[in-house]
Amino acid sequence: MKKINSYNLIHIGLLIRYLQSLDDNDLVKTVLRHINVLQDDLDNSKLEVSLSGLMSIPAIQEIWDEIKQMNPDGRISADLASRFKSEIRKFEHIVFSESLIKMIYTIPQRRFNGNYLADHPDKLLKKEIFNKITATAKFDFSASCRCILYGEGTAAAFHILRATEDTLRQYYLKYIKQNRLKILLWGPMTDQLRNKKSNKPDQLILNSLDLVRKSYRNPTQHPDSIYDIDSAQDLFGVCVDLINKMVNVLD
């Protein structure tokens, strides 16, 4: 998925209307610059049919070639301007037709900053925390952010729990140096951490981990479990707090 600024679409319309109003007062270099920008805007807006039309309509290409051979500091001729305006009006119908089948989807406001959810998930954690979690946890945390943004509650819950469990593994390895579990599962890890006799981890963190495991993680594994977007955001907030607290002690 590529994020597109909606102003591109407005700009395309403005450029087409400008090219339809050419006269012999317009500088050649100005016309060429606007045509190039129109190409770029069509490409960035993924209007492939329109871009192909602009690049392949023989009459437009013929006129364009004539303009490119002119002195850039000169002015376009009245005849050339008239011919070009006629072809651009025809081209506008292609843009209109393609625009009818191009849909723009708007994303509802979430409890968390939409820009952070889409492009800067690290900003939803304390400073530098994101850089200290594993690549797998980064992937799942970012995926959960996108799922919240798009309203996919169950997927968001699944990914944030994976990110939390992976961070728990880092936390576990920080405290447990001997007789480590062969398979690092959520419940056994928290049990072993809780049973430590010395250098014990924060009991509040362990209590929160147990709460998330019993109330969210285990039920989420059931194929019939479904999270609405509000429940997913509740869970996300709890897991963000847990990840922050666990990573704080990793150094």
Annotated domain spans of the chain: 7-101, 114-248
Nearest to 242 by CA among 141, 155, 146: 141
pLDDT at 92: 92
pTM of the predicted structure, to 2 decimals:
0.77
Write down the mean pLDDT value for the chain: 90
User: Mean pLDDT, to the nearest integer, of 239-249?
Assistant: 95
- CB of 246 within 8 A of CB of 170? yes
Q: From 2.60.40, 3.40.50, 1.20.120, 1.10.510, which CATH number describes the 7-101 domain?
A: 1.20.120
pLDDT at 93: 92
Answer yes or no: same fold for 7-101 and 114-248.
yes
User: Mean pLDDT, to the nearest integer, of 136-160?
Assistant: 96
Evaluated on CA atoms 39, 42, 46, 51, the torsion sign reads: negative
How would you label 92-128 residue by residue, b for 16+ Cβ within 10 Å and e otherwise? bebbeebbeeeeeeeeeebebeeebbbeebbebbbee
- CATH class (in words) of the domain with range 114-248: mainly alpha
> Which has the higher per-residue pLDDT, 4 or 78?
78
> Which has the higher per-residue pLDDT, 54 or 116?
116
Q: Taking the CA atoms of the chain, what radius of gyration do you get in angstroms?
A: 29
How sure is the predictor about 188, in pLDDT bands with cuts at 50, 70 and 90?
very high
